[in-house]
Amino acid sequence: MKRSTFSRRLTTALVTAGLALAACSSAGHQDAGPFAVWDPYPQFDGNSAWAEVIDECGAAAGVEVERQAYDTSDLTNKVLLAAQQGTAPNVLVVDNPVVSTLAEGGVLKANQDTGLDASQASPNLVAAGESGGKTYGVPIGANTLALYYNKAVLAQAGVDPASLTDWASLDAALAAVTGVGKKGITFSAIGTEEGSFQFLPWFWGAGARLTDLSSAQAVAAVELWKSWLDKGYAPNSVVGNTQTTGWQEFATGEYAFAENGTWQLGNAAELGFEYGVIPIPSRDGGVAPAPTGGEFVTVPVQGQADREATAARIAACLTGADTVLATDTALTYVSAIPAVRERQVAAKPELAVWVDAVQAAKGRTGDGLGTRYPRISQPLWTAVQAVLTGSKPAADALEAAQSAAASAR
């Protein structure tokens, strides 16, 4: 899309959005300097489509913007330090599990104070930005997990991917695949948040809840993964796999399945073999809730109501229904807004399975967990590692995880 056309559309969108934002500041205040936008996308340089979206939103709000990108792991610490020093960015794009932490730390402005409106986004995605009865920011889009499959491997094993609707049918498929000399499934079970992220669809798909890590449902989920290693359906390397190395195993063409996310779609197009995607099945059928990935666009506390109002205009531009398609296209996200998702699928029908997965997805900090989630996730991935390496039975490992999570509250 040409810049001039994009500018007109963004400006029109802002005029027609009807957001209850405070009035723009005076010219004198706007001259206080460019508006800082921080994001976790260092892979996108200043010439990228994402950088263009930010520039256009700043122009539509009548101000100059200055973008700074950091690795996700660094961004939270830098924002906390900047907030302490009174130099927080004007607009912050941040990973959704971090929103509640920053909100409870007094770093972010609530939507009711800035006029930002998250009502058009799906409630299951907005939930990650809720804390203390208030909502902070708007989801910019979402990614989540599903199962990629190798069409040739499944055909050789006589497996119809449409038949894989529960754990029993998936197990039968893995048996058939390994029975013809191919490899079954690869995933990431590393002892970090990536491991928890990839385990959660099976955990939630069994009916388990993060408030009770030692439930019978939780035990069933980790025993499923353990059984795959014991039967040779999954390689022992999953214990150390990141999502990147798990994908590299799938890319060899030897595996039937890989659990991975929307962010691999570009790499999938270069696999050299035909692939498909199915949702991760729940234990007894249906789509398992997978954790939502993706970021929120938020407005940090700045101490100047006029600059906060203008920052909210920029954030509204980045996330509004009339303009977010350009944002999500630039970031390769499934939109947080159902109507925009329909437009994405109309343009690329292969995204339909990812839309289904996002609709069933859950925020990791949802169910009122907020800042408690990291204190639950670490014992959970520790337990999964213990079971997969054979150092503890599932029930014992998860009982220890529940005790550790409870004592950390």
**Shared-domain flag, residues 120 and 154:** no
Which pLDDT does position 368 carry in this prediction?
75
| Distances from the Cα of 125 to the Cα of 35, 50, 101, 178, 242, angstroms | 27, 21, 17, 37, 24
Which pLDDT does position 328 carry in this prediction?
87
**Shared-domain flag, residues 94 and 54:** yes
Which pLDDT does position 13 carry in this prediction?
36
User: Nearest CA to 142 among 376, 394, 361, 387?
Assistant: 361
**Shared-domain flag, residues 199 and 228:** yes
**Shared-domain flag, residues 320 and 190:** no
C-alpha to C-alpha distance for 405 and 281, rounded to whole angstroms: 27
Query: Which residues fall within 8 angstroms of residue 151, CB to CB, at 6 or more apart?
Result: 273, 274, 275, 276
**Shared-domain flag, residues 287 and 299:** no
**Shared-domain flag, residues 42 and 135:** yes
User: Nearest CA to 332 among 269, 278, 287, 290?
Assistant: 269
Q: Token digits for 319?
A: 């996330």
According to DSSP, the residues that pair with 39 across neighbouring strands are 69
C-alpha to C-alpha distance for 193 and 200, rounded to whole angstroms: 11
How many domains in the chain? 2
CATH code (residue 193): 3.40.190.10
Residue 347 located in a structural domain: no
**Shared-domain flag, residues 170 and 277:** yes
For residues 161 and 276, is the Cβ–Cβ distance under 8 A?
yes
Residue 153 located in a structural domain: yes
**Shared-domain flag, residues 261 and 166:** yes
Burial class (CB in 10 A: 0-12, 13-18, 19+), 223: middle
Residue 338 located in a structural domain: no
Residue 360 located in a structural domain: no
C-alpha to C-alpha distance for 346 and 227, rounded to whole angstroms: 40
Residue 349 located in a structural domain: no
Residue 31 located in a structural domain: yes
CA-based torsion, 155, 156, 161, 163: positive or negative: positive
Residue by residue, pLDDT tens for the chain (409 residues) are: 333 333 333 333 333 333 333 333 333 344 568 999 999 998 888 888 899 999 999 999 999 999 999 887 788 889 999 999 999 999 999 988 889 889 989 999 999 999 999 999 999 899 889 988 999 999 998 989 999 999 999 999 999 999 999 999 999 999 999 999 999 999 999 998 889 999 999 999 999 999 999 999 999 999 999 999 999 999 999 999 999 999 999 999 999 999 999 888 888 989 999 999 999 999 999 999 999 888 999 999 988 889 999 999 999 999 988 788 888 888 889 999 999 999 999 998 988 999 988 888 888 887 778 788 888 999 999 999 999 999 999 999 999 999 999 986 6
Which pLDDT does position 303 carry in this prediction?
85
Q: Among 332, 355, 388, give the residue marking a domain's end.
A: 332
**Shared-domain flag, residues 242 and 381:** yes
**Shared-domain flag, residues 101 and 183:** no
Assign residue 137 a region (left: φ > 0; alpha: ψ between -120 and 50; beta: otherwise): left
According to DSSP, the residues that pair with 66 across neighbouring strands are 36
**Shared-domain flag, residues 80 and 220:** no
Which pLDDT does position 409 carry in this prediction?
63
**Shared-domain flag, residues 255 and 402:** yes
Query: Which residues fall within 8 angstroms of residue 159, CB to CB, at 6 or more apart?
Result: 173, 176, 177, 256
Q: Among 332, 355, 387, give the residue marking a domain's end.
A: 332
- Alpha helices, H only, 118-242: 123-126, 151-157, 167-179, 193-205, 216-230
Q: Token digits for 20?
A: 């209850």
C-alpha to C-alpha distance for 168 and 190, rounded to whole angstroms: 25
Q: Among 332, 359, 394, give the residue marking a domain's end.
A: 332
Domain that holds residue 21: 3-139+295-332
Residue 344 located in a structural domain: no
Instruction: Write down the residue that tokens 């004007």 correspond to.
Output: 90
